[in-house]
Structure 1
Amino acid sequence: VEKRNNNAKAFISFDKVSKSFGATNALINCSVDFELGKIHSLVGENGAGKSTLGKLILGIYKLDSGAVSIDGIPASFSSPTEAVKLGLVGISQELSLLPDRTVIDNIAMGRETTFGPFVSSNKTKEQVLKVMDKYDLHVDPEKIVGMLSVADQQKVEILRALNTNARLIVFDEPTARLAGHQVEQLHSLVRSLAKSGKAVIYISHYLEEILAISDTITLLRNGHKVRTESASNETRDSLIEGMTGRDVGSLFPEISKIDPNKDVLLKVNKLCRNNEFQDISFEIKKGEILGIAGLVGSGRSELALTIYGDRLPDSGSIEFCGNKVGLKGISDSVKLGMAIVPESRRDQGLMLERSLLENTSLPYLKRFASWFYGINKSQERKEVIDSCVETMVKHGGIEKEVQFLSGGNQQKVLFARAAMGKPKLLIADEPTRGVDIGAKQVIYELISQLSKVGEAVLLISSEVEEIIGIAHRTLVMSHGKVVAELSGSELKKSAIMEAAFKQ
């Protein structure tokens, strides 16, 4: 039975709020209060209702039933513009910046200082610099946003929110694309915002992060609120049990041992690409899961894209199944038997406004095509459905647009696409980024199954526990070079982090 804290004065209150999308009940009779000066985290599996609640707060969605009050006064808002006027702003996992404009333009957008009908560039810049100084959050104001690192782009997004005189800020998976030291910087900023009297709503799948930063935690499951509790009364195990309704078991599946006599599937020899990585050499045997660890910017993703044929190396060679290959594009890689789950599902992996069917079958359309009959739709549908079942994608129909799937199911669509090609090598770049604990277990099991049937996996991850949990062997990259190779008893968090920070 849920209890509400009626003693503390809430800034914004939701009373028996519900929201549905067609036949899907995203939020059901949810009541929760958010206080100024507190960090209130929302926790749950994908599809539990976390992001839906966050988007109701920001005016992106309009509630179907229930009531909202701000400072004890009934409130109604149905657009982000109206929410911003009330001091409600958000920072999303997928940044919404203008990459071709300057930092000043992005931060001041819609709030420029004007002189009559004209924008005062100097006064606008002064205002932006004041916000940077106030929160001790500095980025080169004249720099083009698209040229910034992901961490600095996120700073710009936060500064834009702070430039609106925000009273409540929703952080939705803000650390999903950050390295370890950048995460702590963000945490310090979030704590300072709460200390200054702002209400902070924090949505994350990283449970240790939630426990470390939160004052209050609300657990959601299948659209229902399970409980709201002080963070000091929760543990990692209690959160998992509350989210899933199941006892905590082993997160990682058992990984089968690699036969040292197995054939080498992929051999990379002295691969170089200027300003990205240098002199990279390694082998992957059939059935092996090779991890690549390192900080963001160490060259891991660039290496993966080069192996996959998305970009050409400046020197070095790649051998696949015993043959030297000169990949001229991604289509060559697909024909050879490679597949990829890219780092960003939104920017590199999915066409959000197209159907699940189209997203899954796109690389393999020639398989269903004939010059006379065109696309064999029934065969295409059958194979897509089979692949979605195999990878446990939850959906309301393969004709539905993937933008309406939860983040975890969007990620599993990428695995469904890869599985449909029956690849010999899967390159998985941050495969569990932004997904919940339940979806992570599914993805780890999928990777394990690929290994068991003799397919190789190149696993790139910023989560050290993930690397240790499912990789047979791990390379650590730093500043574009492989600085360590670890396996067996050497494969420890301390050893990986020590190598990753090598200069």
Structure 2
Amino acid sequence: MSVRDIGKTYSGVTVLQGIDLDIPGGEIHSLVGENGAGKSTLLKILGGVIRADAGTIAFDGTVTAIGTPRDSIRHGVSLISQEGALVPARTVLENVFLGRWAQRAGWARTRDDRRRFAELLDYTGFSIDPGARVDQISIGAQQQVEILRSLARGASVIAMDEPTAVLTEHEKKNLLDLIRRLAAAGTTVLLVSHFLDEVLSVSDRITVLRDGRHVITEQASALDPASLVAHMVGRQIDVLYPTPAPVRDDAAVRLSARGLGRGPVQNVDLEVRAGEILGIAGLVGSGRSETLRLLFGADKASTGTVTLDGVTLTGLSPRKAMAAGIALVPESRKEEGLVLGRSVRENVALASLGTRRTGPFVDRGTERTAVQTISGTVDIRAAAPDAPIRTLSGGNQQKALFAKWLLRRPQVLLVDEPTRGVDVAAKTQIHRLIVDLAAEGMAVVVVSSEIEELLELSHRALVLRHGRIVGEFPRGTPRERVIAAAFGDHPEDAGPTSSTTPGPFAKTPEGEHA
């Protein structure tokens, strides 16, 4: 595949300019750069989701017009985007073979589809129920469904945008192994990822984009994380995690839960003190995100209690949680966190409208000032406060989500995947923001699929398995011990450990096995 002089402009803003690339068959080629560098835009052009304003695309030396997803699919290109392109109300099986169901004389042959589906699972190592509805499985599982659909189409070029962002360590390893197998069999893989270690480990070559322009294309073996970051941002940047301030000895317990349960979450006990960052680790399906939703009242607990500053919160709902001083940054900013059709200002102001309202009227002047101040604090970079928030990069959208809650100055901040789909510079800013908020006395609970991020940011981390807490680990614990606890390997590693914040909640439940 070759692209020549590809360009794209939105509302007078150039997002891609003069991009030239030659990618041979069977190569794993990664695109890296900051949010807004043009990586996803280039993939969408190749996938036919959007049209380029300039330039040409050629397959096997033949220049081809790509104007729709159907055009790309016909030429063997399959795009797996961050946003996903599944039919939520249909089953996994139906989505994998969408438009390509086995049939004879017009009649569907579901048995044949199930056989083909089983073969795909065997090849990929995935484990998904073919009869499950897509809107009832995790985001990570949805990502796997998209990969299965690409394979079912027999794609010769698979373009993946942040494919490992919501996968567990084990799932990431399986996916990277699968990518290597696909390339060895002749499939070209285009990979966009912010996980530089993964990019370097799996890629043959890496292209760096900055501000919509091509910076370098180099063999992966000639690069390292520091040099990649320098090319991405045009300067050296400190990519180390900030060290959280110690929790004061006299810090009071701000948030606690006892016997919390619903669905996959079973009898969870936890507490987090003022100024403490508590991490929650576990595999997809272990109950991590569900625990945060129960603490926020987004899901109603069937058992247990939630207490804030010694006061039990009865009939907990998002409205009551917000009034009490609890905020939730959800896993999916586009589906649950932001209103994409509205402006940056409206989104940032949304959670605190009541503080600037008199009857049905909102004081817009006060709102603009408040939004401008908090946007500067978290460094939201937008063309204008009234620009649609969908036009912002992923990193700036994520910072806007934090800003929305910080206008309320919550006492407890629950954060699910704080840096999902965020470039290295924005990731560093978000890490610093979380550490600074805790230093000011806020209690923070973080769920992350990145074990290193979790252990470096948190004062201590709890591990969930099958909806139960099976381990507690202090900051700096070797990641292998946390992963072992999550999988149930080596049970002796999943028990209580010494911590700067001792807790009585790390005992492995009796009868809990891998």
TM over 0.5: yes
The answer for the alignment partner of 2:87 in structure 1 is 98
Cα pair distance change 1:486/1:163, threshold 3 Å: closer
Residue 400 (1) aligns with residue 407 (2): no
Q: Distance in 2 between matches of 1:111 and 1:327?
A: 48
- Specify the alignment match of 1:3 in structure 2: none
Pick aligned residue for 1:462 from 449, 457, 477: 449
Amino acid at match of 2:485: A
Cα distance, 1:36 vs structure 2: 0.8
* Counterpart selection for 1:499 from 455, 465, 485: 485
Query: Deviation of residue 23 (structure 1)?
Result: 3.3
2:292 aligned with 1:319: no
For residues 390 and 357 of structure 2, the distance between their equivalents in structure 1, rounded to whole angstroms, comes to: 27
Match among 296, 305, 308 for residue 284 of structure 2: 296
**CA deviations over 1:4-62 (Å, ceiling 9, x no partner):** xxxxxxxx111122111123221121111121111101111111111111111111121
Cα 1:413–1:188 change in 2 (3 A) is same
Is 1:160 matched with 2:146?
no
Tell me the residue number matched to 2:272: 284
What is aligned with 2:348? 360
What amino acid is aligned across from residue 259 of structure 1 in structure 2? R
2: CA distance between counterparts of 1:258 and 1:136?
42
SS of the residue corresponding to residue 41 of structure 1 reads: strand
Identity of aligned residues (%): 37
Q: Secondary structure at the match of 1:77?
A: coil
Indicate the SS of the match to 1:292.
strand
Q: How far off is 1:398 after superposition?
A: 2.5
Question: What is the Cα deviation at residue 277 of structure 1?
Answer: 2.3
Q: Quick check: 2:140–2:284 contact (8 Å CA) kept in 1? A: no
- In 2, Cα distance between equivalents of 1:225 and 1:236: 18
Against the structure 1 CA distance between its residues 461 and 155, is the aligned structure 2 distance closer, same or farther, given a 3 Å change threshold? closer
1:423 and 2:418 are equivalent in the alignment? no
Q: Residues 279 and 481 of structure 1 are in contact (CA less than 8 Å); yes or no, is this contact kept in structure 2?
A: yes
- After the TM superposition, which segments of 4 or more aligned residues of structure 1 sit over 6 Å from their partners? 133-138
Report if aligned partners of 1:49, 1:223 keep a CA contact under 8 Å in 2: yes
Paired residues of 2:455 and 2:475 also in contact (CA < 8 A):
no
Q: What is the aligned partner in structure 1 of residue 334 from structure 2? A: 346
The reply to whether residue 369 of structure 1 matches residue 357 of structure 2 is yes
Could you tell me how far apart the structure 1 residues matched to 2:98 and 2:483 are?
39
Q: In 2, distance between residues paired with 1:467 and 1:138? A: 26
> How far 1:382 moved relative to its partner?
2.0
SS in structure 1 opposite 2:215? Answer: strand
CA contact (8 A) 1:327 1:333 kept: no
Partner residue, 1:7: none
Moved more, 139-148 or 120-129: 120-129
Provide the rounded CA distance (Å) in 1 between the counterparts of 2:13 and 2:215: 19
Q: Which amino acid aligns with 2:373?
A: D
Cα distance between partner residues in 2 of 1:46 and 1:234: 20
SS at match of 1:409: helix
Name which of structure 1's ranges 186-195 and 274-283 shifts more when overlaid on structure 2.
Answer: 274-283
Contact 1:271 1:313 in 2 (8 A): no
8 Å CA contact 1:102–1:144 kept in 2: the answer is yes
| Aligned pair partner of 2:241 in 242, 249, 252 | 252
Alpha-carbon separation, structure 1, partners of 2:411 and 2:125: 49
Query: Cα–Cα, structure 1 residues 384 and 117, in superposed 2: closer, same or farther, change >3 Å?
Result: same
- Determine helix, strand or coil for the equivalent of 1:307: helix
- Residue 500 of structure 1: SS of its match in structure 2? helix
The CA deviation at 1:138 is 6.8
- Counterpart AA for 2:78: V
The unaligned stretches of length 5 or more in structure 2 are 489-512
Distance 2:447 2:169 in 1: 15
Q: What's the CA shift string for 1:357-385, capped at 9, x where partnerless?
A: 222222222222212x6122222222222
How many angstroms does 1:487 deviate by? 2.4
State the alpha-carbon separation in 2 of the partners of residues 93 and 474 from structure 1: 28
Query: In 1, Cα distance between the equivalents of 2:483 and 2:122?
Result: 32
Q: Distance in 2 between matches of 1:459 and 1:122?
A: 43
1:204-215 aligned at under 5 Å gives the runs 204-215=193-204
Aligned-pair CA distance for 1:132: 5.8
1:449 alignment partner in structure 2: 436
| CA-to-aligned-CA distance 1:322-364 (integer Å, 9 cap, x gap) | 2222143101111111111111112221222222222222222
Alpha-carbon offset, residue 438 of structure 1:
0.6
Q: Structure 1 residue aligned with 2:316, among 293, 305, 328?
A: 328
Q: Distance in 1 between matches of 2:303 and 2:416?
A: 23
The change in CA–CA distance for 1:318 and 1:131 in structure 2 (over 3 A counts) is closer
Provide the rounded CA distance (Å) in 2 between the counterparts of 1:138 and 1:258: 41
SS of residue matched to 1:279: strand
Q: Aligned AA for 2:334? A: R
Q: Check 1:464–1:108 CA distance in 2 against 1; reply closer, same or farther (3 A cut).
A: closer
The Cα shift of 1:134 comes to 6.9
For the residues of structure 2 that align with 1:312 and 1:126, how far apart are their CA atoms?
A: 39
Output the amino acid matched with 1:403.
Answer: R
Residue 238 of structure 1: SS of its match in structure 2?
helix
Deviation at 1:128, TM superposition (A): 5.4
Output the amino acid matched with 1:379.
Answer: T
* TM-score in terms of structure 2 length: 0.89
Matched, 1:233 2:219: no
- Count the aligned residue pairs: 489
Secondary structure in 2 matching 1:482:
strand
Residue number in structure 1 paired with 2:6: 17
- Contact 2:125–2:174 (Cα < 8 Å) also in 1: no
Answer yes or no: is the 8 Å Cα contact 2:163–2:193 preserved in 1. Answer: yes
How big is each residue's C-alpha offset from its partner over 1:131-184, in whole Å with a ceiling of 9 and x where there is no partner?
A: 667767675444433444544433321222223332211011111111111111
**Which residue of structure 2 aligns with residue 480 of structure 1?**
467
**Mean CA deviation greater in 246-255 or 215-224:** 246-255
1:301 counterpart letter in structure 2: S
User: Counterpart of 2:54?
Assistant: 65
